[in-house]
Amino acid sequence: MDTMTLWTYSLIAGAVVILIVAALLIMLIAAANRVDKHASAIWEAGKSIAGNTVSIWMLGVTNRVAGEILEGAKSINARATSIDNTIAALADALGPRR
């Protein structure tokens, strides 16, 4: 083989390697873009989930306050019943109205 043939084969081999590397680089960029697109979709879904569940932590406070309101309502009911019974007993003690 002469020198010119070796140079020709070397240039052809170099061109093939460059083409393969370019194709692999293009595939790598396409894969990175797909990953980026899916990561953006996951980020948006996560923000939506966070927005929809932000008030769940407040349910404990709501339940505690609702329990306090219920206790207050029971107390009011007991006192109203006591007042009603007192008025009824007083009416019975005074006798029928004329």
Residues making up the chain, counted from first to last = 98
97 has pLDDT over 80:
no
98 has pLDDT over 90:
no
Position 52 confidence tier, pLDDT thresholds 50, 70, 90: confident
What is the spatial distance between Cα 18 and Cα 32, in angstroms, rounded to a whole number? Answer: 21
In this prediction, residues 69-74 reach a mean pLDDT of 96
Question: Could you tell me the two tokens for 11?
Answer: 């240039």
What is the spatial distance between Cα 11 and Cα 14, in angstroms, rounded to a whole number? Answer: 5
In this prediction, residues 69-94 reach a mean pLDDT of 93
Residues 74, 77, 78: CA angle, nearest 5 degrees: 85
In this prediction the pTM is 0.52
